[in-house]
Structure 1
């Protein structure tokens, strides 16, 4: 691999010496100074173009000095600049008016063609109690579905949520859910961009099987101080940003706390000779970021995130003599931190280096008190990552862009820590394991002709944990081209490996789960995916349409054998709890139509798919549906802009019910039913569908501050969507026979919401 890199860079250096003109620089928001990623840089005369990277940097090599270079970005006015030799450009783009149409004339983005959602679109979509959610917004794109009612977990092309690599400023987030999955931990007020890769993954990403969700935090306004206050039914949030040194350094701090946390303040005082129960739930998020421009070529970025959920259920009984109580708690949270340094080494070479920290913990508590003595058991699981990454972006030719780099991560797993005074006082237990994961990657965007382009690359990974060691290559290919009548063709081939496994507890409350390492007995999972599709932009009425098919094969999957579950106690080795070396298959057809200009904007998508698993010792060795296999998934989102102040939004979702294991019968034992199961996931939950509506008003406060009022309804026609099924036996007194009864439980009826925010 080193020889290949050397030959490539040597050949590129020779070509770079030829008589060519290179335009480079950075692109920023004119109002805030924020670096802009994904900006189109386009020379219309030669037909050459590129995009800015995540740090706003671009490099475009041409055969001669251009007259003008065009810079275009969604939501901004086009900008033209005349470059000068050996002088980097500092481009400032001005935002477009709310109803102004912005047309992007540029080559199709390479490197995996991510689904990118503007934060403004995410914030305008109605959701549970009006809480804007980036993961919910992605669920309205083809190939992506959600779990149960209210869940923010994403199931991408048949994969489970643990197969999604979620990055916040390059740091992995292991549990992205609040309130047990009803919405995600990402505060939209702190986000700058959101990209989803579900196929044709660039080689710079790895470690998961199904998708990559790459989120970037805002850098803060380096021109003036400002912020935003938001008031809602679920939470309150505050964002502050401003310059530490004008034009050179800035900061942003964004926090939110749950309104539900006030429930502890409203709990009535416990009365003598009475009993009752208390529920307490609260969460918080804190995002912070600073960036320093040391020079025109050197930047330092510091990012931090902390979020935590706390849930407690307390059942009590109080008399004149004593108070007896039993309390069960469930807590979980993330900490991430990133230090990044970027440097422009030359007009054609951009570098960045970073140190990354991520920590996730999940806790379960159980306490019993009789007034005289308290018995307790506290258990928790944890995964802690410390790692580093170096990446180079090289622009040797006008028809080639290259990226190469190396990553190293040390995982520390603590799947079971317990402190208890049950039985023997001080009976503490702890399990800890360490693993090292490294990767070397190389990828290139190659313009084959004026109509065809290729992203080719590979990733070589190594993983070791104790005596277990794995070395695996991951080839990647993505082809894009133009066909007759302005049809676009795209295809991809990817191989992905996942060295982590997630055990989810199906019996305890919200979020008690454990991340565990791949071992020689339970080896890493692997996925091979093919995808291909077509797209076309219809001039009238300005609609983009696309069709894509995919096929995915998986190996070394894990599942629970019949009659077992992860209890969190791990009295036995986790390798003995699960069944490994399963195989999976998934295939689907994805259709989408989207309109991004004019007064009526939105998207309509439909997915037809099938996802199945097979294990030798489960379901008699026969294929069975994955839990969240959904055959049909139809969704639509739309926004109508009446004027600059008023707009109305709506979302509709229909999904086939996910797979569930239904009992074939039951036998009575001491008058209690014991259910008999024959096949895994042999039934379906009822179909899921709902309509959400919202109205937004943009205004001003004291003719100075921007305001936004949002109100609407969740589940507008009051659909009783299933949360879970309960199985019972019923006795018919007339016939004297018993029968099996399945009862559906639902949670969210029609719910109104209102949110108000002020920018200052």
Structure 2
């Protein structure tokens, strides 16, 4: 039921008070600023463009606007008709008695409706310790409750029992299918180009769909429409530069932000020959062009491209140069977004968006006899319309529709020279269409109780490639049970799926400083990344739902208690969640999915469950600021079939390889002087599951390991401490050019954390003397210092 209310209070006519909340220094909008009408007690938050709308009766009112890091603004307004009032906020000086960590209004921890939502501040992230001087948005997520990773250097992140492909990552509405540089060591997001980051892992609004675990929504900054300016930085592995300027003052503006690495040049300075020839470089460019033809319209064109190349120059374990192991990995992301925001009067706003996104990945092997090139890509085209409607001061309604076209080339192998013995292989192209309509209705019954009721209906069509394979009934799917194929007309629908995805959130305020929140939601995912490795390579293939592989579904319920203490200086919360997982995917033992023509014979689907508790405490104000998070969670899959070949772990529950029951993070920053601050990051987590061999056999003189149950053991626990010192620019310096320094030590305890564990049998003259040695593989097994210089002008 949607609470559609269009009546006015006590029959009194209401007028719309609206406008944009901006910074005084550069006119940039402030998203999620809190604005309240003192006399009525009602208010709202500004949207991502800094816009706000509240309904008030005729009269004179005092409005209060607050945004952490800025002085609270009090303004008196006379309302006789619909009125537009832009509000300019002044940023606080960097005084010793206050260091702001949160970018949101101090009370939003208690007052906002959503559960499992975090808004990240770029300003605060820049103070944290970094790896090789690179601020990484994705790694910053690991300090939040409910977020984990399989290990250092792994791409992606895992949220509340979800795999890495179950996170929807959006940058100005364009999806990012691989958010990593250098095989997962850094992310593709240039921090200078970002405005705000919203991370949803609990109550996800109905406008988001297509993934089952989380949504990371990243909005690019608005270009400076007043004056030319720039900023950038120089680090040990990369440098960056951003320039922005008006084209027509207050009408049109642009920015271009670039970043490039020189890791490959650093490798050449090292004495080890097998490392000298390693290639590891990347670059990315982010650009935005904005045009404001009227006060009611805003048109924006954004673009992003990022490219990586990575090659290990030989077998690092054997310290040998072997061309066949010198494959060059390349991957590229190309995104473009065109959006038009229009205000229809004072109550209704629309946003029309067109998106193009393409991800290409390839492997090139230069060996003359086995030279090959393996290519794959996914192309995403999206057209959507979103509307925001404000019928009363108690109610906000969002609704819209979307259509997505997917074109997937899962793999094309071809010889790379005339003498190569590689036989060409081309997998079938995949084409599909995903459409959705949604509506959210947020209603405040009173100052204590609010709800959000939403529903999303999604519909998916696999348009096929002309045919599908058929398998013999009553037998497990395999190449041996393949019978024939069914031919379809090109472009016809071979399989369709659809479903209703309800969303619901509720908040009850116990008092001004405490509230209880509840949410439930269903998410359906129609495409997935298929990889049976611990950490998916950039070349892992995407697969759409078809006749055999069903869409994944997650039903989540969460409840939490939120409280602010000591005059909003401390935020605290505890959340509990439970997820029911349907059609989760796992794989048969020994499956090779890279060029598999019959992935449905290797992919197994079953059910699962994920549950846990998340504790979060954050100190916002004072010389010492920071946050602490602790997560207890468990994720378990059940893959059971009447066929032994399609059953995992004897038909009993098992944990996926990213399940970590205990994760603890402590982030702290201390302002020691006007310009000097110290930061630390401590993290602990239990080791991820792994399958150890239960026994070994000798066959033809070879040692063959025997594996029993899947993921029955765990690698050692993970512990890391990072330290940083920041020297900020003088806040009272009048010169245009300002610089700051960041000194960091990553893994200050010099801990050799295990990424994986493997076994090797030492062969001797008699089998009973053969000894099995256990080896621990560490990716970053030593202390890593770094220095970076950042500047603005």
Deviations 1:29-78 (A, max 9, x none): 22222222111111122110101112222111124434221221122222
Aligned residue in 1 for 2:406: 411
Aligned residue in 2 for 1:114: 117
Question: C-alpha displacement at 1:482, in angstroms?
Answer: 1.0
Within 5 Å, give how 1:202-601 maps onto structure 2. 202-263=205-266, 278-314=277-313, 326=324, 327-369=326-368, 376-420=371-415, 427=424, 429=426, 431-466=428-463, 467-483=494-510, 486-504=513-531, 506=533, 510-539=537-566, 542-566=569-593, 568-570=594-596, 572-580=597-605, 582-601=606-625
Aligned residue in 2 for 1:755: 788
Question: Any conservation in 2 of the 1:135–1:152 contact (CA below 8 Å)?
Answer: no
- Partners of 2:170 and 2:33 in 1: CA distance: 21
Question: Any conservation in 2 of the 1:123–1:133 contact (CA below 8 Å)?
Answer: no
Question: C-alpha displacement at 1:188, in angstroms?
Answer: 0.9
Question: Any conservation in 1 of the 2:155–2:536 contact (CA below 8 Å)?
Answer: no
Aligned residue in 2 for 1:319: none
- Partners of 1:530 and 1:759 in 2: CA distance: 45
Question: Any conservation in 2 of the 1:16–1:396 contact (CA below 8 Å)?
Answer: no
- Partners of 2:270 and 2:744 in 1: CA distance: 29
Q: Aligned to 2:61, what secondary structure does the other structure show?
A: coil
Question: C-alpha displacement at 1:744, in angstroms?
Answer: 0.4
Aligned residue in 2 for 1:89: 85
Aligned residue in 2 for 1:626: 656
Aligned residue in 1 for 2:149: 146
Deviations 1:675-698 (A, max 9, x none): 100000011010001100000001
Question: C-alpha displacement at 1:351, in angstroms?
Answer: 0.9
- Partners of 2:61 and 2:413 in 1: CA distance: 69
Question: Any conservation in 2 of the 1:15–1:397 contact (CA below 8 Å)?
Answer: no
Question: C-alpha displacement at 1:541, in angstroms?
Answer: 8.7
Which of 19, 38, 42 is 1:44 aligned to? 38
Question: C-alpha displacement at 1:142, in angstroms?
Answer: 1.0
Q: 1:445 to 1:112 in 2, by over 3 A?
A: farther
Aligned residue in 2 for 1:740: 772
Which of 634, 643, 646 is 2:673 aligned to? 643
Q: Aligned to 2:433, what secondary structure does the other structure show?
A: strand
Question: C-alpha displacement at 1:178, in angstroms?
Answer: 1.1
Deviations 1:281-335 (A, max 9, x none): 111111001111111100001111111110124569xxxxxx9955411111211
Question: C-alpha displacement at 1:510, in angstroms?
Answer: 4.3
Q: 1:611 to 1:411 in 2, by over 3 A?
A: same
Aligned residue in 1 for 2:470: none
- Partners of 1:503 and 1:16 in 2: CA distance: 58
Question: C-alpha displacement at 1:367, in angstroms?
Answer: 2.0
TM-score, scaled relative to structure 2:
0.88
What root-mean-square deviation, in Å, do the aligned CA atoms of Structure 1 and Structure 2 show?
2.7
Alignment pair present for 1:33 and 2:57: no
Q: Aligned to 2:48, what secondary structure does the other structure show?
A: coil
Question: C-alpha displacement at 1:624, in angstroms?
Answer: 0.3
Aligned residue in 2 for 1:602: 626
Question: Any conservation in 2 of the 1:505–1:513 contact (CA below 8 Å)?
Answer: no
Q: 1:424 to 1:674 in 2, by over 3 A?
A: closer
Tell me which moved more, 60-69 or 616-625. Answer: 60-69
Question: C-alpha displacement at 1:643, in angstroms?
Answer: 2.8
Aligned residues: 737
Question: Any conservation in 1 of the 2:12–2:57 contact (CA below 8 Å)?
Answer: no
Which of 662, 681, 701 is 2:692 aligned to? 662
Alignment pair present for 1:710 and 2:704: no
Deviations 1:67-116 (A, max 9, x none): 22122112222223334432312222222222347774678223556200
Q: Aligned to 1:380, what secondary structure does the other structure show?
A: strand
Q: 1:66 to 1:682 in 2, by over 3 A?
A: farther
- Partners of 1:196 and 1:114 in 2: CA distance: 6
Question: Any conservation in 1 of the 2:153–2:183 contact (CA below 8 Å)?
Answer: no
Task: Compare relative contact order (CA 8 Å, sep 6+) and give the higher one, 1 or 2.
Answer: 2
Question: C-alpha displacement at 1:13, in angstroms?
Answer: 8.1
Q: Aligned to 1:38, what secondary structure does the other structure show?
A: coil
Alignment pair present for 1:80 and 2:62: no
Question: Any conservation in 2 of the 1:292–1:301 contact (CA below 8 Å)?
Answer: yes
Question: Any conservation in 2 of the 1:277–1:313 contact (CA below 8 Å)?
Answer: no
- Partners of 1:178 and 1:439 in 2: CA distance: 32
Q: 1:688 to 1:345 in 2, by over 3 A?
A: same
Question: Any conservation in 2 of the 1:163–1:211 contact (CA below 8 Å)?
Answer: yes
Question: Any conservation in 2 of the 1:69–1:82 contact (CA below 8 Å)?
Answer: yes
Q: 1:245 to 1:392 in 2, by over 3 A?
A: same
Deviations 1:520-546 (A, max 9, x none): 211100000000010111117931111
Question: Any conservation in 1 of the 2:192–2:232 contact (CA below 8 Å)?
Answer: no
Question: Any conservation in 2 of the 1:43–1:66 contact (CA below 8 Å)?
Answer: no
Which of 94, 113, 116 is 1:98 aligned to? 94
Alignment pair present for 1:58 and 2:52: yes
Which blocks of at least 5 consecutive residues in structure 2 are unaligned? 316-320, 464-493, 641-646
Q: Aligned to 2:391, what secondary structure does the other structure show?
A: strand
Deviations 1:470-492 (A, max 9, x none): 11000000111111584210110
Question: Any conservation in 2 of the 1:298–1:341 contact (CA below 8 Å)?
Answer: yes
Which of 159, 162, 183 is 2:162 aligned to? 159
